[in-house]
Structure 1
Amino acid sequence: MTDDRADDPYLIISSDTHAGLPTAEYRPYLDPAYREAFDGFLAKQEAMAEARRKFGLENEEFAEEWFGEHEEELRAGWDASRRDRELDADGVVGEVIFPDADAVAAGTQAPFGAGLGMIGSDYDPELALAGARAHNRWLAELCRESPERRRGVIVAPIVGDVAGAVAEIRRAHADGLRGGVMIPSIWGHGQAPYHDACYDPVWATCAELGLPVHTHVGAAPRDELGAHLGLYITEVTWWSARPLWFLIWTGVFERHPDLRFGVTEAGVWWAGNLLWQMDVAFDREHGTRKLASFGEHMRMRPSEYFDRNCFLGMSTPKRRELSHRYEVGVGNLLWGNDFPHPEGTWPHTREWLVHAFSDIPVDETRAMLGLSAAANYGFDVARLRPHAERIGPRPSDLGQDKADTSVWDRARETGRHWLTGPDVPAVVGAARKEGAARKEGAARKEGAARKEGAARKEGTR
């Protein structure tokens, strides 16, 4: 028997798009008290743009070609009706919207740098929060156009003003933004790292409201890297991903089990090796047995927290990255077209999908292209179906009706090889027993200490 619905169109949701006003046009959305400071910010932005041109950090030939070829379409960065047309052409029915539509000339930055590169040497928590409020106010207006298709990401500069950021998260959520929260990838020198309990109100608020927390690629310590763009390209993914292991190893996901955390547009190539490295360390393989205290804040393996609490917004994934999907977890991977950035797949997404997914099993493709994002961000699938019927590519359009998917059978059966190999059960079993014994011993010591403390208190009465 054949499945008559096997060639139903894909419901495609981009977990990574960008929108933003031309920077000067944010003025009406700013609190009046910050508009004078905004004039200084605009002047500084123009000086920085000139410096990029002077020192050859911007490919002027590419910029001229890009804006010349796509001038009208790039208005979709802030024009809702134009945006819908561009998404339709890409076959995308829903989107998760991050800031900074212009990734070439930085012409749509949120005020005071409250965007993808949020933390810099001149970071001011008060100004960053003012800029974030302005962007969030405007974005809520954009999302009221075709609301079933949009999930706007709340920009929240939590470093330096946790209470102010929590208040803005609640305000923006009440204003209709449902795409989660973007926090700075870097907390900067002298600031508390993200495992610090001072951020617990942020995590608790986001878990309560059902808002995933994100970092997004973009920020890096520019003062250290200077004009060496190779250093930036090499390190920027690491800085974006770094908060993930801070939250896993330090008990944040134990304290906040309903918190969802994602790393967006930082690739997938590193994730399988990271999970392998963390799991074998946690299971006390040879290299970590010498450490006296290890994983004391955790009840599960790192990969188990990753599966329960984390996801990757894998914008424009390469074939090599998709080949790692069984180690990372198919359900943990959310596709994105990075619209309207030139490094993304727009405006040639349909061709990219054929290249990337032509031999990927259809059920896995459906999950990665949209269904996992729908569940993660609360899209109403029933409301998106008519859009998918109208514009969505079908498996046959990707060549999947003729594909031999058996090439993936062994990788799928193996999954995370460090947990499924022939010698794993004995090694892991021994490590688990050792870990359980340590925890039991620690619990006994803690219980004895409590009894002793109680006895001392009783004796002083």
Structure 2
Amino acid sequence: MSATGPQPEGFYERTIPYAIHGGFMTTFRPEDRYTVISSDTHAGGSHAMYREYLDRQWHEEFDAWRGKYKNPFSDLGDARRYRNWDDEMRNSQQDSDGVVGEVIFPNTVPPFFPSFVLFARPPKADEYPRRLAGIRAHNRWLADFCNRAPERRAGIGQIFLNDIDDAIADVRWIKEHNLRGGVLLPTIPPDVDWIKPLNHPDYDRLWAVCEELEVPVNVHGGTGAPAYAPHPSSALIMLSEVAHYSRRPLLFLMLSGVFERFPRLKLVMTEQGSAWLPPLLNQLDGILKSVRDNGAVGELRFKPEHVLPKSATEYFRQNVWLGVSFPKVADVRAAREVLGVDKFMWGSDYPHDEGTYPYTTLALRQVFHDWPEADVRKVLAENAAQVYGFDLDALGPRAAELGPTVAEVVRPLTELPDNPNEALLANAPAA
């Protein structure tokens, strides 16, 4: 039975032709299924769990901190919070949604953090030792969490940039403990002056280690915004600006020559869409061309050692991948027409409310129904397998049982289910 009801007798017993892009014909077996790896999910431990992974020297302070901590996020305060760490609940929900592999970003609140892990500002000098102990506790927890399902889980470890030697040590630990997702790069807000900006040459030691160890560097959307005054309008202002701040690491690494010096470094921009990128690359291509050709843009002059030999588009193709969570039609169009399907990895954002669960197959039908099967396989699994080291053969048996069928995904979604989620509504035709 498909997501929209039973099909006529014999529907799944024949090979079905379908047309793509004005007449290109291909065929598939209706029993064929896609392997689905989400490039964006979230998990984390409870405070009780983190205590077991925290260095003992911090236990007394942690207990005092934990007793005063009030969690403002509702998704961590009811039964849904168990999705973050309960293997049976998490795996069964992912299985029911057809997702057999996941790249795992943090989600809960590590020890000594002031707020939700992705939104917490970088620690100041007096906060750093405790916060560092907190993310190391999370990384230890995550390594064990991933080891319980190593074929389906690629965990992303956390680092701070306050001390580059500590960051390098943590990158090496992350690699040694098989957190295949790599590292989450802290996005430095523009009002943070106690940490060096990402274009500082001192970070070259860190990029060199990530390149050498083939550790992906991940940047997640929703991060990097400055502190806002506590006014009712501040939340709306933050929502309107945060996308820009989340994208700044791409600009800092590209334009400071990091991609030129480290051509094998992998940067992944996750939960940030992709439709914004073609016009930005076009703009940057023009700027860099003017600098190469004239040594200047307008009245701004550049020394020869500051001239980048490649275009922004070339650096993107060399160093950057996109983890596009709950993609919109404009995002998939940008991938097909400009960015390239090899750079695009689909994400569910499980277990967040704005993600595709529990309607992932319906969401895939909305945006990929007119794509060639080979390209869909790339964005649903093959690209993520390349970047994060998933074994597609190991995932194959479960995908053959649980993945959405090619026959389902090729059918446009013409009717939403009752109580559709945010992801479906975002791509629904205007009434």
The question of a shared fold, defined as TM-score above 0.5 by the shorter chain, is answered with yes
Q: 1:401 to 1:226 in 2, by over 3 A?
A: closer
Please give the per-residue CA displacement for 1:110-132, whole angstroms capped at 9, x wherever unaligned. 22338312425757332222111
Q: Distance in 1 between matches of 2:307 and 2:194?
A: 24
Letter in 1 for 2:215: L
Q: Does 1:169 align with 2:171?
A: yes
Letter in 2 for 1:268: S
Q: 1:392 to 1:162 in 2, by over 3 A?
A: same
Bigger Cα Rg: 1
Q: Does 1:304 align with 2:314?
A: yes
Pairing partner for 1:271 from 274, 277, 282: 277
Q: Distance in 1 between matches of 2:224 and 2:93?
A: 31
Identify the structure with the greater strand proportion: 2
Q: CA RMSD in A?
A: 2.7
* 1:265-344 equivalences in 2 (<5 Å): 265-284=271-290, 288-293=297-302, 296-325=306-335, 326-344=337-355
Q: Does 1:86 align with 2:86?
A: no
Letter in 1 for 2:103: V
Match of 1:233 in 2: 239
Please, which moves more after superposition, 276-285 or 345-354? 276-285
Secondary structure at the aligned position of 2:300 is classed as coil
Cα drift, residue 399 of structure 1: 2.6
Letter in 2 for 1:391: L
Q: Does 1:18 align with 2:42?
A: yes
* 1:400-419 equivalences in 2 (<5 Å): 400=411
Q: 1:85 to 1:341 in 2, by over 3 A?
A: same
Please give the per-residue CA displacement for 1:268-300, whole angstroms capped at 9, x wherever unaligned. 232111111111111229993543217834221
Cα drift, residue 348 of structure 1: 1.7
Cα drift, residue 310 of structure 1: 0.5
Stretches of structure 1 that go unaligned for 5 or more consecutive residues are 50-57, 101-107, 404-461
Please give the per-residue CA displacement for 1:195-249, whole angstroms capped at 9, x wherever unaligned. 2122122211111111110111233445325352111211222221101011001
Cα drift, residue 3 of structure 1: 5.0
Match of 2:206 in 1: 202
TM (norm. structure 2) is: 0.81
Pairing partner for 2:378 from 367, 386, 392: 367
Q: Is the 8 A contact 2:365 2:413 kept in 1?
A: no
Q: Distance in 1 between matches of 2:379 and 2:52?
A: 38
Match of 1:185 in 2: 187
Q: 1:181 to 1:386 in 2, by over 3 A?
A: same
Cα drift, residue 307 of structure 1: 0.7
Q: Distance in 2 between matches of 1:178 and 1:74?
A: 24
Letter in 2 for 1:110: P
Q: Is the 8 A contact 2:288 2:308 kept in 1?
A: no
Q: Distance in 1 between matches of 2:31 and 2:412?
A: 8
Please give the per-residue CA displacement for 1:80-120, whole angstroms capped at 9, x wherever unaligned. 232211111111111100101xxxxxxx3122338312425
Q: Is the 8 A contact 1:395 1:401 kept in 2?
A: no
Match of 1:445 in 2: none
Q: Is the 8 A contact 1:10 1:395 kept in 2?
A: yes
Please give the per-residue CA displacement for 1:394-437, whole angstroms capped at 9, x wherever unaligned. 2210135999xxxxxxxxxxxxxxxxxxxxxxxxxxxxxxxxxx
Cα drift, residue 174 of structure 1: 1.4
Stretches of structure 2 that go unaligned for 5 or more consecutive residues are 1-24, 415-431
Q: Distance in 2 between matches of 1:294 and 1:343?
A: 46
Q: 1:67 to 1:28 in 2, by over 3 A?
A: closer
Q: Distance in 2 between matches of 1:327 and 1:320?
A: 11
Secondary structure at the aligned position of 1:153 is classed as strand
Cα drift, residue 328 of structure 1: 2.6
Match of 2:393 in 1: 382
Pairing partner for 1:9 from 18, 33, 51: 33
Pairing partner for 1:147 from 146, 150, 160: 150
Cα drift, residue 153 of structure 1: 0.4
Q: Distance in 2 between matches of 1:270 and 1:378?
A: 28
Q: Distance in 2 between matches of 1:312 and 1:223?
A: 27
Paired residues in the alignment total 378
Match of 1:215 in 2: 219
Q: Is the 8 A contact 1:362 1:400 kept in 2?
A: no
Q: Distance in 2 between matches of 1:269 and 1:328?
A: 9
Q: 1:363 to 1:209 in 2, by over 3 A?
A: same
Identify the structure with the greater helix proportion: 1
Q: Distance in 2 between matches of 1:81 and 1:97?
A: 16
Q: Distance in 2 between matches of 1:276 and 1:45?
A: 46
Q: Is the 8 A contact 1:220 1:232 kept in 2?
A: no
Please give the per-residue CA displacement for 1:359-387, whole angstroms capped at 9, x wherever unaligned. 23322222111111111111111111112
Letter in 1 for 2:166: G
Q: 1:15 to 1:264 in 2, by over 3 A?
A: same
Task: State the identity %.
Answer: 38
Q: Which runs of 4+ in 1 moved over 3 A?
A: 1-7, 120-123, 400-403
Secondary structure at the aligned position of 2:69 is classed as helix
Q: 1:149 to 1:92 in 2, by over 3 A?
A: same
Please give the per-residue CA displacement for 1:153-174, whole angstroms capped at 9, x wherever unaligned. 01111x2111112112212321
